[in-house]
Structure 1
Amino acid sequence: MSSADKNLSVFSTEGLPDISQRKFAIVVAEWNSEVTEKLFEGAYATLIRYGALAKNIERGNVPGSFELTLGAHWYAQREDIDAVVALGVVIQGETKHNDYINHAVAQGITNVSIKTNKPVIFGVLTPNNMEQALERSGGVHGNKGDEAAITAIKMLGLQEKITNRRG
């Protein structure tokens, strides 16, 4: 279902794990900061709303979305980090740069998650234009940052269930 049909900030919160002792990293692309700052605000607020402590949320900035993979990897390698949320936006332009960047970042984030055995969440918008980006970063379609943060929480819950690590 596309975000045109679903609000990114509306999701089930049933059965969320206790995240009060979990540590999160949020990696934010600086390119298109008018959008990525809103994504960060959404992700941060969602983590706090569902039990994360402010002292357990660390932010790292990278120049652009392409660099999200390496920034996420550095955080995910740290033993004290439980989950990483990578936030960026790649707006389709007149060239195919967005196809190459989006594919590379999606594959890179997946590889980091598998390699580190930690939730590393792809919170990258891939809109056709700035209007769509704004609609999905706190506008009429909600906030992808909210969705990315709740995804991190839910993945930690699944990890707990499967590995019986906590609780």
Structure 2
Amino acid sequence: MPKSFNLALVAGEFHRDRVTRMVDEARRIAAANALMVIEEVWVPGSMEKPLALKRMLQRPDIDAAVALGVIEQGETSHGIVMAHAVLNAIIALQLELMKPIGVAILGPEISPQQMDARVIPYSRSAVLAVRHMLGYHGLESISTDSSG
């Protein structure tokens, strides 16, 4: 059995119904891949994710995190600017703290019609990326079974 790692989830309140499905999938894939979700926090939106991630990843008992949420299409470039800022902050946190962060943030500029098809695959990919970056390279043993 591979070593188990502790995982934190940070989820955004926008589109809570969809993000709840993302969180549920992240939990299932984590459990199937020796990742224990020991902390979960909901924040107002994507701009709050980097601070929540940093607070959790500074804890010695948390090995990695996954950020989940939606930055939807708007009438201006605000979503694009916000997405760049959030992703840059998340990358900087990974490098500063040397702990992986999976990103399952739909968008920017995603329409409501495009969201549902991406909810599960993005969550799954973010968790599996974290698992890989934690040093587990036996990819043939990584499970994508989301049946629980």
- TM-score range (shorter-chain normalised) is 0.7 to 0.9
1:128 Cα shift?
A: 2.4
Q: Which runs of 5+ in 2 are unaligned?
A: 138-148
Question: Which residue matches 2:144?
Answer: none
Question: Which residue matches 2:69?
Answer: 88
Cα-Cα RMSD: 1.7
Separation in structure 1 between the aligned mates of residue 125 and residue 103 of structure 2, nearest angstrom: 10
Q: Secondary structure at the match of 1:28?
A: strand
Separation in structure 1 between the aligned mates of residue 23 and residue 79 of structure 2, nearest angstrom: 21
Q: 1:74 aligns with which of 22, 45, 55?
A: 55
Separation in structure 2 between the aligned mates of residue 78 and residue 155 of structure 1, nearest angstrom: 18
Aligned residues: 136
The letter for the 2-side match of 1:93 is G
1:68 Cα shift?
A: 0.8
Q: 1:154 aligns with which of 120, 132, 137?
A: 132
Separation in structure 2 between the aligned mates of residue 34 and residue 157 of structure 1, nearest angstrom: 33
Separation in structure 2 between the aligned mates of residue 50 and residue 32 of structure 1, nearest angstrom: 27
Separation in structure 1 between the aligned mates of residue 80 and residue 41 of structure 2, nearest angstrom: 25
Between structures 1 and 2, the one with greater strand share: 2
Give % identity: 31
TM-score (norm 2): 0.85
TM-score (norm 1): 0.76
Q: Which runs of 5+ in 1 are unaligned?
A: 1-16, 160-167
Q: 2:116 aligns with which of 123, 134, 137?
A: 134
1:148 Cα shift?
A: 0.6
Question: Which residue matches 2:2?
Answer: 18
Runs of 4 or more, structure 1, over 6 Å off, are: none
**Post-superposition CA distance 1:19-75 (Å, at most 9, x none):** 42x11001101111122111111111100112234xx43211111011111111111
